[in-house]
Structure 1
Amino acid sequence: MAPDRLDPTLRDRISALLATRRGVRLLALRRATALALLVLAAGLAVQPRHGPPESSVLVAARDLRPGQQLSGADIELRAVPRHLVPDGVLRAAAAADGRVLTQAVRRGEPLTDVRFAGSAVPSRAGSAATPIRLADPDVADFLAPGRRVDIITKITRSGHSSVLAEAVPVLAVQPADNHGDQGRLIFVGLPGEQAAAVAAASLDQSVTITLR
């Protein structure tokens, strides 16, 4: 005689009870997991969001030209992500004050050691960085920032020359591979009026220097 399905056996009752208990445990586990995820999300939402670590570096406060002798108005400190900080960057205003740029720098660009011509050169009150193109570009190989030179016009066929300035400091020297066909450019520190006279003379006369 076939078993009556409407009258379940003890085995069927036990199986149904176990299945019910497994379902209850699974539902409880799902609810606990969902609650834990909600708590975690809430905790992350109230935590402060930290960006990448930053470092203070010296940058140009405005566009700067080659040969410019820097002062406090030309530079500023700015916090930038550490992974964007270039090698050789300057981090204090004192490290750039009085130094002379050999290349142009855009506003906001970090200032690195390779942008400058050697050590800072003490400037006299009212002095200006004056560009001069040398008649003999090879002479610049013997120059370095801080060296004192006399500036003279080149001796003409008549044997005449004139001294334009004496014992002036060299501020910057143009790299040898960057002067083209126009002659080697150097920057010297001169008082305002004398700077204008020397710059004007160097435009229409061949200029050379003697080393001190």
Structure 2
Amino acid sequence: MAPKDRLNSTVLHRIGALFLGRPGFRLHALRRAAAVALLLLAAGLTVQPRHGPPESRVAVLVAARDLPPGRVLSKADVARRELPADLVPDGALRDIATAEGRVLGSAARSGEPLTDARFNGPAVASGGAGTAAAPIRLADPEVADFLVPGRRVDLVTTLTRSGAASVLAEDVKVVAVQAPQGHRDQGRLIFVGLPEQAAATVAAAALSQSVTVTLR
């Protein structure tokens, strides 16, 4: 600084010259400036919209609410939901028609994707090879609340003429239970697995007689 400039310099100029003249201070100031610039760049990249390819999503069926085992599904029991393609399980159902009328083999939580493994297959629905599923409409619909697929029961009927109780079948397996309905005047429907000939006899008897079950 020229002698004349030194005389006319302000206090701020003198302080600036004092600190900027030190090499250590200059290096520290440069580092702080670089750090601030990097922070601003990172903030800009964070708020910048992404222009990558859109995420692939697939529409699947999920349980519309908690569903118990043995429920015969209706349209009100399922809903469509889009999931990322890499999160869709194998065998996931995508069409409501493929789920309606099928029997849940195990409970499903609300929002859970429904897969083919959730439902009773033909072998389970009939009770096994050489057997058939016989429909039984229970006289007391509330008894069905205690039944789930796999439960063993005895089928008991009351003959209308004599009033004597009769056992239609013993130790049979429940393979499906109808979901509760808005009205219960006709009783709840269940399916039990029986040998084919016995299944036909029991199903025919259940059409004309009042049937209930005893639990094992």
Normalised by the length of structure 1, the TM-score is 0.48
Normalised by the length of structure 2, the TM-score is 0.47
